[in-house]
């Protein structure tokens, strides 16, 4: 079943804003791909039990797509491009990239509003679960749990011992307790045309929104499990097991004895943006089930 891939033809998006070197710097991004925290233990078991019935009723991802309304919040240090005030063209290109990536999985995205906020503390320090992140999302969040709030920040000052992030997200089953904390937070320079090469084609948004829809990493493990030995994994049958995240674009990588090469082209791995090009049918069915169950989005 490992060939059940929803492959995406990369559109020749006419990026209005080309690659920009901020302050003359175009070095590659040196940080962590994702800061999203997956559930463990009994919480994980309860989630999968809840999703099982919905997944059994969703067997074809190629039906009429659901449309997600997007509220886009640009959080900047100041009103300059260098300070995080990304132009509308980058936001429009990000939405176009998301529609390209998610349409075969049954989702489209509609930008309904963009707002801009100057707050240096939020821009520099809005890491998952901290005071700045909570303040930012509580103040700016709009819509309902069926709507997607995207925030762009700078991640300039990571907590002690941590690296800058590309992004993080909340899961759909966290909506009840999170409320206004729900959403996706992205490094501004990860948008198409940004400076965070090789992560500047917009796939960080695709990856983090994958979590927002209920997807785990392709290399997900259970509690205290080794990657190749896990029987829990990402709860999707058609994503081959891999021994940890893949980086770069290691064609032919095969790190576990189970069937299938590592899913290095999957949006839920850690490879470069240019390497990512698919969700699987199983992932599409899972995300639709999770959106139906927890966000009330009908399919």
208 classed as catalytic: yes
Q: 207: helix, coil or strand?
A: helix
The angle subtended at Cα 91 by Cα 89 and Cα 97, nearest 5°, is: 105
Query: What is the residue whose two structure tokens read 């303040």?
Result: 135
Tokens found for residue 279: 């969700």
Residue with tokens 């995300």: 287
> What is the DSSP annotation of 207-251?
HHHHHHTTPPPTT---TT--TTT-SSTTS-TTS---SS---S--T
Taking the C-alpha atoms of residue 160 and residue 169, their distance in angstroms, rounded to an integer, is 21
Note whether 227 and 234 are within 8 A (CB): no
* List 77, 208, 242, 293, catalytic entry: 208
Buried b (16+ CB within 10 A) or exposed e, 216-243: bbbbbbbeeeebeebeebbbbebbbbbb
What tokens does 26 get?
């175009």
Euclidean distance between CA atoms 209 and 206, whole angstroms: 5
Burial of 24 (0-12, 13-18, 19+ CB in 10 A): exposed
Q: What angle do CA 37, 278, 206 make, to 5 degrees?
A: 45
Q: What is the rounded distance in angstroms from the CA atom of residue 265 to the CA atom of residue 137? A: 31
Catalytic residue annotation: 208
């Amino acid at each position: 079943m490992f060939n059940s891939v929803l492959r995406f033809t990369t559109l020749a998006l006419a990026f209005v804003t080309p690659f920009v070197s901020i302050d003359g710097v175009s070095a590659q991004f040196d940080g962590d791909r994702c800061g999203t925290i997956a559930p463990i233990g009994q919480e994980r078991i309860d989630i999968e039990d809840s999703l099982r019935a919905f997944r059994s009723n969703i067997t074809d991802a190629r039906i009429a797509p659901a449309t997600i309304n997007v509220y886009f919040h640009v959080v900047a240090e100041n009103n300059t491009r260098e300070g995080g005030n990304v132009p509308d063209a980058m936001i429009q290109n990000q939405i176009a990239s998301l529609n390209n990536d998610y349409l075969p999985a049954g989702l489209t995205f509609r930008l309904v509003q963009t707002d801009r906020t100057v707050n240096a503390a939020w821009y520099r320090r809005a890491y998952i679960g901290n005071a700045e992140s909570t303040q930012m999302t509580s103040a700016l969040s709009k819509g309902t749990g069926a709507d997607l709030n995207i925030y762009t920040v700078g991640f300039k000052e990571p907590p002690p011992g941590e690296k800058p992030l590309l992004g993080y997200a909340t899961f759909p089953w966290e909506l009840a307790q999170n409320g206004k904390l729900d959403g996706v937070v992205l490094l501004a320079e990860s948008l198409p045309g940004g400076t965070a090469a090789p992560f500047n084609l917009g796939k960080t948004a695709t990856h983090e929104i994958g979590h927002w829809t209920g997807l785990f990493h392709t290399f997900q493990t259970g509690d205290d499990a080794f990657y190749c030995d896990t029987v829990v994994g990402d709860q999707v049958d058609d994503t081959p097991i891999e021994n940890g995240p893949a980086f770069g674009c290691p064609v032919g990588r095969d790190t576990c004895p189970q069937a299938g090469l590592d899913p290095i082209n999957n949006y839920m791995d850690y490879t470069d943006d240019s390497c990512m090009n698919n969700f699987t049918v199983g992932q599409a069915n899972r995300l639709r089930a999770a959106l139906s169950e927890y966000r009330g989005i009908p399919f």
